[in-house]
């Protein structure tokens, strides 16, 4: 009995069936890998595509685009709760739109002063002690170039620093 079992196990038909099973098991795994590779490709390429459509490479250098993107990230974290990601503001909070705002499209010094010192008895918080010069500069540059606003002269962290004592 024992010998006979071994013979059946090694029978070519059985070996063939086993191979087929193995083959079948591999197919879905292979497909899963293909799908994963495709997905990884998508998630890696989409932020770049979005960045390129947000900032016209004919207007900005790669280094400037990086600064504007950093400003966007900071804006979304620190300012969008009141002024909204769309820059349209929220009347219920008294937060004005920054899209097309006279301050944001006007002289940069006033823009810097409001962000450093706040306004409206703190309804617009003073960021002087909260954010460093470079982050304030990045956010201001983003605001001045988002939502259709356009100011090609980016403000430098030194300009923010210079207004801290005013």
Residue (79 or 146) nearer to ligand HEC, CB? 79
117 binds ligand HEC (CB under 6 A): no
**Counting Cβ atoms within 10 Å, is residue 92 exposed (0-12), middle (13-18) or buried (19+)?**
exposed
Residue 57 contacts ligand HEC per CB under 6 A: no
**Encoded tokens for 163:** 């207004």
Handedness of CA 48, 50, 55, 56 (dihedral sign): positive
Distance CA 128, CA 73 (A): 19
- By CB under 6 A, tell whether 163 contacts ligand HEC: no
Q: Would you count residue 95 as binding ligand HEC (CB under 6 A)?
A: yes
Smallest gap from residue 69 Cβ to ligand HEC (A): 16
Q: Which of 116, 136, 138 is nearest to 127 (CA)?
A: 116
Which one among 79, 108, 137, 146 touches ligand HEC, defined by CB under 6 A?
Answer: 79
When the beta carbons of 78 and 163 are compared against ligand HEC, the nearer one is 78
């Amino acid at each position: 009995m024992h010998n006979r079992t071994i013979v059946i196990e090694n029978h070519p038909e059985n070996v063939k069936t086993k191979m087929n099973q193995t083959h079948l098991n591999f197919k879905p795994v292979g497909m899963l890998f293909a799908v994963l590779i495709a997905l990884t490709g998508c998630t890696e390429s989409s932020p770049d595509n979005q960045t390129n459509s947000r900032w016209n490479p004919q207007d900005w250098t790669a280094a400037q685009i990086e600064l504007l993107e950093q400003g966007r990230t900071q804006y979304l974290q620190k300012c969008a709760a009141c002024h909204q990601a769309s820059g349209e503001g929220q009347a219920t909070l008294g937060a004005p739109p920054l899209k097309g705002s006279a301050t944001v499209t006007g002289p940069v010094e006033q823009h810097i002063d409001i962000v450093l010192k706040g306004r409206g008895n703190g309804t617009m918080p003073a960021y002087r002690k909260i954010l460093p010069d470079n982050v304030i500069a990045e956010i201001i540059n983003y605001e001045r170039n988002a939502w259709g606003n356009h100011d090609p002269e980016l403000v430098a962290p030194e300009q923010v620093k210079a207004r801290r004592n005013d």
